[in-house]
Amino acid sequence: MNTELQVLLLTAVTISCLHTLTGPDHYIPFIALSRVRGWTAGKTVVWTLLCGIAHVGSSVLLGLLGIGLGWSLSKISGLEGLRGGLAGWALLTFGLLYTVWGLKRAWSNKVHKHFDVYDNGDVYVYEHKHGGIVYPQDRTKVTPWIMLLIFGLGPCEPLIPLLTYPAAQHSTYGMVMLIGAFTLFTLLTMTAMVMLGYYGFSVLRTSSLERYAHALGGFTILVCGIGMVCLGW
């Protein structure tokens, strides 16, 4: 395994864990649903994994854009000699733009999805801005099947640039390894956080970091791109 792929795998693992840990919606609803419905630990894990697979699956589908971009970059002749290669520069550029966009999104108080857990254990999902008023009719009661739909429609965008690099190198092995690492650690992190809450342990208080999830993902990609282009990773 070459150095570039090792760096990309480390970046994929970091992003998958950060993306999950900074999003309480990845585990709090499962903990609440398991309590109010009296689920066993096994059933809780099954629903967590099903929703996680739907989430990763939509991310991989979105990542096909990165594969297409990588193949396109590999066909541009005369520019392969740039230090770090076109794919490395694409990684750096995407990371920079995604970081800026993530910070702007966090600071501009955009409408975003939010989960509320009531004292009786019911979970509701709705869209709002911080400080805004949410009326009862704007909320949707969450069921396991709605959770599956929500996760299926909520991909992780940073997977796109990560798949660009191995695609530009025509490395099917690299793409499979990246997708595998991203999938495995997303599912492991989701399951670990849900099980901690299921057995009564206090989960990490990451709600304050939730709005910076995109910025953190972009910064991780930016560091990876800088390392490849400027530091010879």
Structural domain boundaries, residue 25: 3-107+145-230
**Residue 129 placed within a domain:** no
**Residue 158 placed within a domain:** yes
Alpha-carbon distances of 82 from 21, 76, 86, 87, rounded to whole Å = 36, 12, 7, 10
Alpha-carbon distances of 77 from 82, 169, 177, rounded to whole Å = 11, 14, 27
Residue 67 CB neighbours (<10 A): 18
Q: Quick one: CA dihedral 30, 34, 35, 40, positive or negative?
A: negative
* Residue written as token pair 């649903």: 33
Does pTM top 0.85 for this prediction? no
Cα pseudo-dihedral 114, 115, 118, 124, rounded to 10: 100
Higher pLDDT, 178 or 118: 178
Residues in the chain: 233
**Residue 28 placed within a domain:** yes
Query: Residue 213 contacts by C-beta under 8 Å, 6 or more apart in sequence?
Result: 18, 19, 22, 23, 102
The runs of H, that is alpha helices, within the chain are: 3-21, 28-36, 41-74, 85-107, 144-152, 159-168, 172-198, 213-230
Over residues 11-66, the pLDDT tens digits come to 999 988 988 888 777 888 888 888 878 889 999 999 999 999 998 888 888 888 87
Q: Most distant CA pair in the chain: distance in Å?
A: 64
**Residue 138 placed within a domain:** no
**Residue 130 placed within a domain:** no
**Residue 122 placed within a domain:** no
Over residues 89-140, the pLDDT tens digits come to 778 888 898 888 888 877 776 655 666 666 555 666 656 555 555 545 556 6
Asked if 220 and 37 count as a contact pair (C-beta separation under 8 A), the reply is no
Q: In the chain, how many domains are there?
A: 1
Q: Which pLDDT belongs to residue 126?
A: 57
